[in-house]
Amino acid sequence: MLRGNRELWWAVGAGILITGVYGAVVFFSRGIPAAGDLFGHGLGIMGFILMLMTETLYSLRKRSRNASWGKMSSWLQFHIFTGLVGPYMVLLHTSWKFNGLAGAVTLLTIIIVLSGIVGRYIFTRIPRTLDGLEIEGTLSEAALRQARQLMALWHMIHIPIGMALFISAFVHIGAALYYATFLK
């Protein structure tokens, strides 16, 4: 079970640090960094790597119950941290331009982050052990069943949106490499 909001505070701290660096770049370059510049690419690459880690590492750990790779609660906190910081970096990478495929990827990123916030809220309504296993008998049976149904519905929405996001992101990366790098 999530205890406290440590991952949220770490994400806010990282966001403040990233915003400070971004602000310094804007100040010294006297303009918003272009998505295709070194700094813009760096933000996009690092943000995408964090998002990819968000998607893959937590899912792998969740599916390997007998692995001793740490507590599920720690992995969920990591998932939440990278799921907030990565998309923020990708948002800064856009140079505040939201057209074409890149705009669609940004929209899907915003939707998946909002969906993740809803999922975290639903997840915290179900009592769990430190390893993430549900604790029976702590909620009324109707409330527990309702929370489980909401969580199942949320998974049915969140996971396909995440897949669409990553497919779109890979197409965007491929197109950016092709048009901005290989054709030069």
Radius of gyration of the chain (CA): 19
Domain ranges of the chain: 6-182
Partnered with residue 128 across adjacent β-strands are 134
What is the pLDDT, as a whole number, of residue 13?
A: 95
Work out the angle at residue 88's Cα, subtended by the Cα atoms of residues 85 and 93, and round it to the nearest 5 degrees.
125
Tens-place pLDDT, residues 66-118: 667 777 778 888 888 999 999 999 999 988 888 888 888 999 999 999 998 88
pLDDT at 1: 41
Give the separation between CA 109 and CA 165, rounded to whole angstroms: 7
The CA-atom distances, in angstroms, between 25 and each of 21, 32, 39 are 6, 8, 8
pLDDT value for 82: 93
Please list, in sequence order, all residues whose beta carbon lies within 8 angstroms of the beta carbon of residue 177, skipping any fewer than 6 positions away: none
> Which pLDDT belongs to residue 181?
72
Average pLDDT for the chain: 84
Query: Which sign does the torsion angle of CA 93, 96, 99, 105 carry?
Result: positive
Within its chain, how far is the Cα of 33 from the centroid? 23
> Which residues of the chain fall below pLDDT 70?
1-4, 65-67, 126-139, 183-184
Tokens 């939440």 correspond to 80
